[in-house]
Chain A
Amino acid sequence: MNYVKCFSVFLISVSIITGIAIPMVPQPQGWLEFPIIPGLEDKARNIFFHVPVAWTSVLGFLVALFFGYKYLRTKNLDYDMKSVTSAGLGLMFCILATVTGSIWAKFNWGSFWNWDPRETSIFILLLIYGAYFALRSAIDSDEIRARLSAVYSILAGLTAPFFIFIMPRIVGGLHPGAKGDTAGSTPVAQLHMPTNMRIVFFMSIIGFSLLFVWLFKLRIRAAQLENHLSNKEN
């Protein structure tokens, strides 16, 4: 566990420093220079932070889905608690991703929100998290709540592939990898990045994922302590 903490701090700190401080030059040479992407220039640095945060919010949803599935199999309320904490963290990262995304959109494309397919899908993820918590707050019984929220998260997970893979193909958009973009590539829209940028990018993704694990474990332990204390009081 200590490795997770140290690694996440190290990776994110390094990616912050390298992501922000490394200069962007027209003809990069060696490892300490990034190329200038036409149209983006310095704003491209956002990619080291915005995309990993968005990825972590999806990770939070997938983990919540997984623990929901485990709950349905074993009826162990422990899994339900893990599902909620993951969903809470996922919601926080989703809000961060939407905010960083819209700030970047303002600087790059002119307005804060454009209903581009990727923007729409992060908005829908936000709605799904909101609906998940609304459902949870509307049910009193622990067991029924756990069951229904697990079912809803699986149902929402079923509609997710429609957004990720189909929508950007059909409806053209601003994000790279959409229909009108000739330079984009794979379904998950990886920019053609030179190796040094790619390293910083992956460091950031792994760093944020490990940060998610650390936050997750912290919240689980705190919830277990609370449970323990409330059990003792009874």
Chain B
Amino acid sequence: MSGYKERYTFGMDFGTSDVKFGPITCGDAPKILHNRGYFPDRDSIMMRALNEAPEVVVGEDVPLYLQSSDDLSSRLIYPMRNGIIDRADDKAWRVVNEISRFGLRMFRPNPDEDFEGFCVVASISSVCPRYMYESLFDTMTEAAKEGLVKAITIISQPFAVAIGHGVTTCVVVESGHGNTQVCPISSYPIRSALVAVNRGGGEANSIAAEILKDLGYGDLAREEAFVRRVKENLGLLPLDLDRAVKAAKDSPSKFRARFKVPGTRVEIDFGEKSWQRFLIGEYVFNPRNELFQSYLTRGMPKPKDVKIGGAVFEGMIDFGEAIVRSVEKCPVELQPLLYKEILLSGGNFSWQTPEKLRDFATDAPTKMKTLLKEKGIKGVSVRMTKNPQYSVWHGCIIYGYAVPQDYGWNWERMEGWLPVAA
């Protein structure tokens, strides 16, 4: 194995919220940055007086430049909120460019070493269209002019998860803030069997906000960060929604959901409506239950089927159905092997299971098994990835280290190294 890559392989996981990056020498954990950039108002008096505001700010300095909250939506850009960037979204690409160079510069070694640039493995959503690959290659080519990049390759996030987890035949279900990708892997990612779902952690936030409004916390429901905390602290994933709701209505005190925000006087109490905490988890996994109808008719956004960058993201399909559809696009001989190893990755699969509610609230792997059982699929093995936060980055590092440097980029396979050194 090349000694050069033992030192200069560099992984970059472009997640919807965070970018995780660093060279192979980082050890087990990469650096983490918010995947966002801020465009300061360079015409303001102070910016002119200081004459130092960059066009775009990334990294830990972003809070220092934040101005009016009214401007945040237009100036604070999360380029990969849905995993995909529009071809013409110049601001988003500018942020990606800046973050990439920021990360690479952070680890530039001493000039007297034999450094010719990093061998960068970037990881993006499996549904990203070809132009995103091309733009990322352009970004790295620009970075190569500073001597930061020697070669670049791009792999999909589910593929990286499978590599990081050490499983060569499996189905990876990667669920982020905006969408969920189901991707079978058999030594290679099977692209023709990819299924994308237009639902993720954002949908759990939406229903949690509706519930808070109904409970009289409408003013707090406007704060996304607060809603997320309520979801994480009070939301439950039911084994069987109807049974859980009935039990919680019969015995509200046993299921009571109460949460006090540390350091504040704010306390949320679902009281008699504590059964609603089960809706939060169920809505992510299976939004078709009729209990959600009343929220949808009152204006809660319904996850729609959308076409993004050439891929169709289904909105209302349940996760079990998504896995079955994906696996059934693969050769019959392979299907049993795929069902034997289903990997769940992403924060959207982390649900608490309070001890006293074990009969009603469950974890994501058990829920997924239940959904598959309803479709007649038995004997499956569903697991969470060992290290969900870093598994994509681990996969990038392993890929970069192992793939021979003379294996050139191939657009059909969407694999291999593209040399970009200046």
Q: Do A and B come from one complex?
A: no
Give residues in A with beta carbon < 8 Å to B: none
Residues of B within 8 A of A (CB): none
